[in-house]
Structure 1
């Protein structure tokens, strides 16, 4: 089973599980670093939990996710913005996605540990391609062991990610470490904020 198959097969349970996670520390970090009325692309939005928080706080939300089930759920969750959620994975070609404008912010929550290191450069290129010249990128990923998990994982190489963003003019401005919001003792979460001023 591929990672995308896993998410499609288990979408109903995962949506409920993700929606009930305590994400207050991440959400406060987003409010701290993202100016009001910003346009935000959530890459790998899953249940739409973070999109909901951003929407409720007045942000212009966009999203891509490789899971057809998650995209279907987002379109139901935000009926007036259905055309802003697309079934797509990273890396992507901006021309294929057809974003009508440059965005202020990209967030990627819980996707980097699914990426092969060989994809990092192309993923960073994809992210930068949809952003304005003054913009913010927020990345959150897990560290630790995952026994009996069918999904694909690699340990995240933050030094390499930072190097790739530095080349594009971004600076790492904050790093936060948290316990797992779903109470898995074996996992911790790292969230980093890059800004291009």
Structure 2
């Protein structure tokens, strides 16, 4: 049975200029970051080879959210996750990191930073998340416990029948921490982009 509320709190949980195309494929065999230029923005897919990535925002405002209970591969089996989709969002102070263990090298971290001056604009984001935490978050027009096969807040995500789902027309959150196996976006508009490879453990949080 659907449960609807006008405001639902989430606690403790879930441009780039038109100048260049940057490709950072399978750097030292750790994860992959592929960035392609598309009309002043970028289409991006972020994936970690052996562990979840971590992403953080100082603030995140989004609209047309859907999600449902899912799983991600883990060793020879799988582990619980939530597949989340945001049709549009703006985030300040994006940090995205992946920690990997590289043979003969040891622990290495990839860090991506953007949005310190102007917010990162995100269209069509889908994340397979194992953790979403914010100390201060609000969902607008939230529907929690909706059958995943009936999700219609956006055209990005719909799940199988009988699976717990959620959707909302809006999200406002601060100090957001997200752990995810994959993050995909149809477009990202980035300012002040920085990509670093660092020895050791230097995750976003």
Q: TM-score, normalised by structure 2?
A: 0.27
Q: Which has the higher helix share?
A: 1
Q: TM-score, normalised by structure 1?
A: 0.28
Q: Which has the higher contact order (CA 8 A, sep 6+)?
A: 2
Q: Which has the larger radius of gyration?
A: 2
